[in-house]
């Protein structure tokens, strides 16, 4: 079985791992944090919510806004996020991300 290419930056930049980003408040980040790698929908497409980067430090020590990432590389094998999480995602504005850090406007 092929292994995932661990060069995430190259995968994102090339489009192999299409990612979209949005921004949220600390309170929304706290609500989303436990649902890392859960399936959410954006514009009718299933993608995987990525929140693990927020675990690097306590949320109250990190600056706002928080960058919400959704990966469209695959949606197989991930549990669906609860409706409450999907409602939070639906309230955010997302755009495609090229992997730059910080993301280009």
Q: Burial, 66: exposed, middle or buried (Cβ in 10 Å; 0-12, 13-18, 19+)?
A: buried
The mean pLDDT of the chain is 85
CA 85 to chain centre: 12
Q: 0.85 exceeded by the pTM?
A: no
Residue 2 reports pLDDT greater than 50: no
Distance CA 23, CA 94 (A): 8
Strand-pairing partners, residue 58, are none
Q: Mind listing the pLDDT tens digit for each residue in 46-81?
A: 999 999 999 999 999 999 999 999 999 876 789 999
């Amino acid at each position: 079985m092929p292994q995932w290419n661990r060069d995430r930056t190259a995968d994102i930049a090339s489009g192999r791992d299409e990612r979209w980003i949005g921004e949220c408040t600390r309170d929304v980040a706290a609500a989303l944090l436990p649902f890392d790698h859960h399936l959410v929908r954006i514009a009718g497409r299933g993608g995987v919510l990525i929140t693990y980067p927020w675990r690097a430090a306590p949320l109250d020590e990190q600056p706002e806004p928080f960058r919400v990432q959704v990966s469209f590389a695959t949606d197989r094998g991930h549990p669906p996020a609860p409706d409450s999480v999907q409602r939070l995602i639906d309230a955010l504005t997302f755009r495609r991300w090229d992997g730059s850090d910080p993301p280009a406007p």
